[in-house]
Amino acid sequence: MSGLSVQQREALKAIVSAVVEAVAAAGEAGAPAGVLYAGLMQYGCKKSQFDSLMPALVRAGKLRQEGHLYFVVRASHANV
């Protein structure tokens, strides 16, 4: 997150938390990418931003993707 202002970092943290929360709320069925994007689009998220954000959350180990569905990655007790 280098190069971001404190305000931008806080906004990004809030976005990440909201996305992970929304995916968690979908439960075992998974959260469809289109529904997540539609929710973020209401706040001005562009498709290119969404397409950058979601793979970043997968690479960070917060989410996993199966097709067009996202699931929360549950932390193992070994990582605590």
d(CA 52, CA 15): 13
Output the pLDDT for position 78.
41
Please state, as a whole number, how many other Cβ atoms lie within 10 Å of the Cβ of residue 17. 11
42, two tokens: 């209401």
d(CA 78, CA 40): 33
**Domains by residue range for the chain, with CATH:** 6-79 (1.10.10)
pLDDT tens per residue across span 5-54: 999 999 999 999 999 999 999 999 999 999 999 999 999 999 999 999 99
pLDDT tens per residue across span 54-77: 999 999 999 999 999 999 998 643
Report the predicted TM-score, pTM, of the whole model to 2 decimal places. Answer: 0.85
Output the pLDDT for position 42.
95
DSSP secondary structure letter of residue 10: H
Output the pLDDT for position 74.
83
